[in-house]
Homo-oligomer: A and B are copies of this chain.
Amino acid sequence: MGLKVVIIGGGSSYTPEIIDGMIKRHSQFPVSEIVLVDINEGARKLEIVANLAKRMIEYTGAPIQLRYTKNRREALQGADFVTTQIRVGGLKARALDERIPLKHGMIGQETNGAGGIFKAFRTIPILLEIAGDIHEICPNAWLVNFTNPAGIVTEAVMKHSQHQKVIGVCNIPYNMRSGIGEIFDVSVDRVMIEFVGLNHFVFGKRVFIDGVDQTDEAMRHLIYDDLNYSPANIVSLPWNKNFLQSLNMLPNPYHQYYFQHAEVLKKDLQAYKENGTRAEVVMEVEKKLFEKYKNPKLKEKPQELEERGGAYYSESACSLMASIYNNSMDIQTVNTLNKGSIPDLPSEAVIEVNSVISASGPIPLAIGPLPDTISGSIIQLKKFEQLVIDAAVTGDYKKAYASIIMNPLVTSDENAQLVLDELLQAHKPYLPQFDREVVNV
């Protein structure tokens, strides 16, 4: 008997990617049933995507049943894997996360700074609901979350849900490996990067090709060849050579918010004036994508999807599920419990880490103490993340304020309050946990 996969947020424009991944991997990962789940607001997109997905499956002849529903609890019956790729409040909410901080002269971004905090505030309660349902309805199912901020959300589930079979996924590590593969002109599976850090704040400490340490060579390329391995959806500026040299590690594209703060802010403010927020740009892209998806002749994942920025999400998610199913014991980079892998962080913190993928879930590889240069930032950011989770779960205004003022992209105690209050107001429908107290001093 085959496997059942439930995709929550099935109406996402990314769905064809993961469908494509499951079709391709069918021999090792024999899915027999896929259910796409979405909410009322996404009903139309859900239908479009589901129909495309059906055509894709039919076209390849894969023995997979696909259906879609708005009834999440019903869908979960008998599930083996559940993936979550939701955006609470949709792209409109993202636009607010981006616009409001920018308005106050701060980085306005989906997963970092004030915007990322509010994305977490909206997402965590929903993911806890989903995890609760899974624990009740299909307790053996693995929850594979790629809703951002993926690290924070995964830790929130680990800490506040009974359902512990949860893994966070991000495409950044795969993209970094892929970029290194290009530099060395080898296939990505020959590249291992020793990742160290947190989701969207992960560093590549060492680079191995076929198990041989090539870190120095990789750094030389990055410093002297001006190579660039950023995914499409991240603001990108070249790194200062001394930064790379003194770091002697691979940064990830999101590090620019922290280590190129001044320039990125300037560039983002400029872009905002000219084109509005990134969310608005994406809305346009999405609109066009869905037009494509509607086309009954379309029977494959369209090329444009990769430009959308989420390339390789499906790669990460499908190969993770396949390895769990097969007890493959291969190494993948996931967001999971630290368990000492980085002894400077709490064992129960979630980190982004190379892990052996077994039938019982990921087993992180031990990394050892954080390198001196980055240990302060990583610890600080993890503590910040934990303030966010605490605020998201309790709905306590003071904790929300604490999380925002302790974020390194927030510029002052006054601005912290301005942005906090405006975002609380703007996202009110999605933040019921904060309803109890909106009284400020």
- Report A's interface with B, CB cutoff 8 A: 105, 192, 208, 210-213, 223, 239-243, 245-247, 259-263, 327, 329-331, 337-343, 347, 356, 358-360, 363-369, 372-377, 379-384, 386-387, 390, 397-399, 401-402, 405-406, 408, 411-417, 420, 440-441
CA distance A441 to B339 in the complex (A): 33
What are 7 residue pairs bridging A and B, where the CB atoms are less than 8 Å apart in the complex?
Answer: A242-B397, A243-B417, A247-B402, A259-B413, A340-B368, A372-B383, A377-B406
Q: A262-B105, A441-B223 are in contact. Are A246 and B398 (CB under 8 A)?
A: yes
CA distance A223 to B240 in the complex (A): 43
Q: Whose C-beta in chain B lies nearest to the C-beta of A328?
A: B211
In the complex, the answer to whether A405 meets B327 with C-beta atoms within 8 Å is no
> Which residues of chain B are within 8 angstroms of A367 by Cβ–Cβ distance?
339-340
CA distance A412 to B360 in the complex (A): 35
In the complex, the answer to whether B340 meets A262 with C-beta atoms within 8 Å is no
Q: A347-B368, A368-B337 are in contact. Are A412 and B210 (CB under 8 A)?
A: no
CA distance A407 to B404 in the complex (A): 19
Q: A340-B343, A376-B382, A414-B263 are in contact. Are A365 and B365 (CB under 8 A)?
A: yes
> Which residues of chain B are within 8 angstroms of A401 by Cβ–Cβ distance?
242-243, 245-246
The one of B338, B359, B398, B417 in contact with A366, judged by C-beta atoms closer than 8 angstroms, is B338
CA distance A223 to B212 in the complex (A): 45
> Which residues of chain B are within 8 angstroms of A387 by Cβ–Cβ distance?
372-373
CA distance A415 to B373 in the complex (A): 18
CA distance A341 to B245 in the complex (A): 29
CA distance A381 to B383 in the complex (A): 14
Q: A245-B398, A246-B401, A372-B387 are in contact. Are A412 and B260 (CB under 8 A)?
A: yes
> Which residues of chain B are within 8 angstroms of A373 by Cβ–Cβ distance?
387, 402, 406
Q: A365-B356, A365-B366, A441-B223 are in contact. Are A376 and B406 (CB under 8 A)?
A: yes
Q: Nearest chain B CB to A422's CB is how many angstroms away?
A: 14
In the complex, the answer to whether B366 meets A339 with C-beta atoms within 8 Å is yes
In the complex, the answer to whether A243 meets B405 with C-beta atoms within 8 Å is yes
CA distance A93 to B269 in the complex (A): 36
In the complex, the answer to whether B243 meets A416 with C-beta atoms within 8 Å is yes
Q: A327-B210, A366-B341, A376-B380 are in contact. Are A411 and B261 (CB under 8 A)?
A: yes
CA distance A245 to B417 in the complex (A): 12
In the complex, the answer to whether B415 meets A262 with C-beta atoms within 8 Å is yes
CA distance A241 to B390 in the complex (A): 21
CA distance A412 to B240 in the complex (A): 9
CA distance A365 to B337 in the complex (A): 12
CA distance A380 to B375 in the complex (A): 7
> Which residues of chain B are within 8 angstroms of A356 by Cβ–Cβ distance?
331, 356, 365
In the complex, the answer to whether B411 meets A408 with C-beta atoms within 8 Å is no
The one of B262, B384, B399, B405 in contact with A259, judged by C-beta atoms closer than 8 angstroms, is B405
> Which residues of chain B are within 8 angstroms of A246 by Cβ–Cβ distance?
398-399, 401-402, 405
Q: Whose C-beta in chain B lies nearest to the C-beta of A365?
A: B363
